[in-house]
Structure 1
Amino acid sequence: MRAVGREVDWKALRIEVLETFTPGPPINEVAEFAGRKAIIQRLQDIAIEKARHAIIFGERGVGKTSLANIFYKDLNSATRMVRDIAVDADSLDSFDSIWRKVFRRIRWPADNATLDNYYPGPIEPDHVFLELSKFGQNEAPIIIIDEYDRISDETCRVLMTDLIKALARAPNNPTLILVGVADNILQLVRDHGSIHRNLVQIPMDRMTSDEIKDVISTRVRHLRMKITDDALWRVAYFSAGLPFYAHSLGKYSALRAVEVEKLQIDEALVLSSLIDCIADVDYTIAESYTRATEKIYRKGNIFAQVLAACALTENNDLGQFTAAAVEGPLSEIMGEPYEVSAFSFHLNQMTNPERGSVLRKTGARRTFQYHFAEPAMQPFIIMKSLEDGVLRPDVFERFYVKRQKSFSI
């Protein structure tokens, strides 16, 4: 017990905060996966139905791996035992090598060796079909192949399609779950039309404001703490729909509360935790930001201001924005009118490796659209710009209120 009467064991509470918010490792319990309830139910239905498989795809950092790792956790029953096998693909994988990884994790009761030892030659789709068919009728084999987008071998993708077709005839009910970073299924699966009835698309968008608030509120209640509505709004805004930021901000806000021996997280504590969240971000994000905004040859520039304006800009459902849309935020940041001609050079430069390739440009001349190459970059820019003074609090507040109104719809 960390509390006796009105006395709080603040050291024990600090440990509990660190165990409750997990920005690093994927979540591994269904009960902890606040938000995404509808997707979890859909995946569970797929695992129970016969001859159905799933492909989970979307932006990096939206929680695909966590979802794949937990959706089946409460499917065990008196008549069904889940047999889960999860492997990661890499850029050198072939059909043989990816299934050899799976077979290394299978050992039949009567065998002395793992399954891969019985296949000295290349593993083929029919071999996989026969081995997965050996699972008992009361077993539910679920094979998860994460990082599927890293496979560059086209033959592997074709053979995976052949396997999915073949598994429709399996006497039991094995389920294959593919997970990868992609905008659409065509980037991951070949000849998708021939297996559209068997392979269910599970696109994962960023979490909604309500889902982010659910993530935070669930964990704060678990800690027997409280969080104000304004503080929840701040976390939802800064998280930009990405679970990592929700967990990181939740963790550091709660730790700040523990430091001052408060059981309620308020807006000020969330804002004071930004510097800790910035330090928590993946090194590649921080490095790309530095390269994008660095002053070459000691000359002053406005790359940091342009990037901050991009982060505040209204975008479409695909996260894209036009150069013209940057004019308003940049003019506010600079304190004087700025038209596209004054910063189009900066936008184009930030699509190049020399400036960290933080932006990507699509479309044709005069209709170019820009978006952040990494989803985690946009919230990082806002937090870093506030911390460094590039973005003044009064400017941020004006755009914060505007964005929050649209975010709550």
Structure 2
Amino acid sequence: MMVWSRFTDLLLGRKPRPQPIVALDVPQRPSRMRAATSRLPRFKGEASDLERPLRGRDGPVDQQRTRLQRAFTPSQPVSDVRMFAGRREILLSLIRAIEDQQLHAVVFGDRGIGKTSLLHVFAQLAREARYIVRYTSCTERSEFDATFRAIAADVPLLYHADFDPTSEPAERGAALDTLLPERELTVATLTEVFAKLSGTRLLIILDEFDRATSPEFKRSVAELIKSLSDRSIRVQIVIAGVAANLTELVEHIPSIRRNILGLPMPAMTREEMAEMIALGEAIGQMSFEPGALDDIVAAAQGSPYVTGLLAQHAAARALDREARDVAREDVTEAIRRAMRDVWVRLSPRSQQQVETVEARLPMPEIGRIAADGLAHFGVILDPADATSQFDPAVRVAAELGILRPTVVGDRKAHQFADDSVALYLWLASRVGGRASA
């Protein structure tokens, strides 16, 4: 029957219809089984919709939902310059540091603040300018040898000054890694190979640098930066990671301070968050009422991740009620959905502590210490004056284990033991919610 239908399509000049691929050893599901599962929840779109975003399955609502999938992507970094909102000044500073000053750069800031999105957009712009860009996301096991051999393998040998473009190795697509010795790679050896780079510039991006646990790896990267700078080699390194300051991220900073530009990633401004939502409105073909926008901005506290998460949940909730205008009630429900998202990431111990804190302290007090923590990498500074009273809410949270003592510089402080607790408590304070919400 399948062959005949395709033959008929061709005979009548119709476009052949796509045929399903069915494994021969798997029987077709009986129609009665489909009927039995009709009471279960269903996906609202099809996987193919992700490749053809404007083709909804069942009409306008599904088309709207597939657009929404493109409009807000809180779980993924922005990789399309058309979706990049705000951050123009820091992006311009990064470009100038690389292009005009020929410095190396370190981008640092809190989690979810948009560092990876910035780097993806920056990398795209650099490729447009004919840079060779190698992006690497560091892990706990990152080592200098393996990391930089992989980077060298992406640089064609034709850009090496000792090889003519018509030479046999260059014509067969050999790369710089073929020039590296089999023994463990050293900074000096790699520097000698990079020193012969000609006709282009190599941009190395090391994201999530804070995840690397090897002191030798970090020390070697710092030494490489100094060596590349001292010899004006056509290779520049951009490092990014979670840190409150430059010295937290890169060891041996004094030796390379003059060779790098430190770029802190601040919280987004209200205007930047509004721009981010406006881009989503244009793509998703929905609109956020002014009050709804204000509620998202207030709840997000400058975090692009939280902004996107709440906007996505709120728009989805509006679609659920078949509306294209996102109202304040949708944002309230979006906050509760986000709370549930964060809640499941908490350890059982943290969940129990949160429930106890919620029972002991009024929500405004909880919201105040949570907001303070979110604004300072989870840290709440103790009073500078030793005679001052400790904040009662901080004292209770510390007694219950949510906060733990720490030191920032020469000043005593408290820090949230679980990074996600501060976000959960802040969101809960916005809706007067509880852990079971």
Superposition deviation, residue 2 in structure 1? 6.4
Letter in 1 for 2:140: S
| Residue 169 of structure 2 is aligned to residue 119 of structure 1 | no
> Which of 216, 222, 234 is the matching residue for 1:173?
234
Counterpart-to-counterpart distance in 2, 1:344 and 1:172? 51
- Residue 131 of structure 1 aligns with which residue? 193
Note the C-alpha offset of 1:189. Answer: 2.1
**Pair 315,384 (structure 1): closer, same or farther in 2 beyond 3 Å:** closer
SS at match of 2:202: strand
Structure-to-structure mapping, 1:68-147, within 5 angstroms? 68-76=119-127, 80-108=129-157, 110=170, 115-116=176-177, 118-137=180-199, 139-147=200-208
| Offset of residue 65 of structure 1 | 1.6
Which of these residues, 343, 366, 389, is aligned with residue 310 of structure 1?
366
Which has the higher mean CA deviation after the structures are superposed, 305-314 or 241-250?
305-314
Q: Kindly report which structure 2 residues correspond to 1:121-270, keeping only aligned pairs within 5 A, or say none.
A: 121-137=183-199, 139-168=200-229, 173-270=234-331
TM value normalised by structure 1: 0.75
Give the 5 Å matches for 1:319-398. Answer: 320-321=379-380, 346-351=396-401, 358-363=402-407, 369-373=413-417, 376-384=420-428, 389-390=433-434
* Counterpart check, 1:40 vs 2:91: yes
Query: C-alpha displacement at 1:12, in angstroms?
Result: 0.6
Asked if 1 retains the 8 angstrom alpha-carbon contact of 2:309 and 2:338, the reply is yes
My pick for the range that moved more, 146-155 or 367-376, is: 367-376
- Which amino acid counterpart does residue 318 of structure 1 have in structure 2? H
1:342-386 alpha-carbon deviations (Å, 9 max, x no partner): 7666422444xxxxxx4343359xx85334356553332233466
Rounded Cα–Cα distance in structure 1 between residues aligned with 2:203 and 2:54:
39
| Residues 81/388 of structure 1: CA separation in 2 closer, same or farther (3 Å cut) | same
Give per-residue Cα distances to partners, 1:286-329, cap 9 Å, x unaligned: 656414235xxxxxx445544953333463963654689xxxxx
For the 8 Å contact 1:275–1:387, the answer to whether it is kept is yes
SS in 2 for 1:378: helix
Mapping of residues 20-35 of structure 1, within 5 Å: 20-35=71-86
1:74 alignment partner, SS class: helix
SS in structure 2 of the partner of residue 207 of structure 1: coil
**Equivalent AA in structure 1 for residue 376 of structure 2:** L
8 Å Cα contact 2:133-2:204 kept in structure 1: yes
Aligned length: 357
Q: Distance in 1 between matches of 2:251 and 2:392?
A: 44
Kindly indicate whether the alpha-carbon contact (under 8 Å) linking 2:273 and 2:297 is maintained by their aligned counterparts in 1: yes
C-alpha displacement at 1:14, in angstroms?
0.5
Change (3 A) 1:122 1:304: farther
Contact 1:238 1:379 in 2 (8 A): no
- Contact 1:362/1:368 (<8 A) preserved: yes
Q: Percent identity?
A: 22
- Does the residue aligned with 1:379 lie in a helix, a strand or coil? helix
Amino acid at match of 2:67: E
In the alignment, structure 1 segments of 5+ residues that lack a partner are 295-300, 325-338, 352-357, 392-409
Mapped partners of 2:381, 2:229: distance in 1: 46
Q: What amino acid does structure 1 have at the position aligned with 2:397?
A: L
1:77-112 deviations in Å (ceiling 9; x for gaps): 5xx412211112223333223323423444535266
Which residue is 1:15 aligned to? 66
Pair 63,360 (structure 1): closer, same or farther in 2 beyond 3 Å: farther
Aligned-pair distance for 1:272?
1.8
- TM-score normalised by length of structure 2: 0.71
Say which is worse superposed, 202-211 or 108-117, in terms of deviation: 108-117
Q: Distance in 2 between matches of 1:91 and 1:55?
A: 19
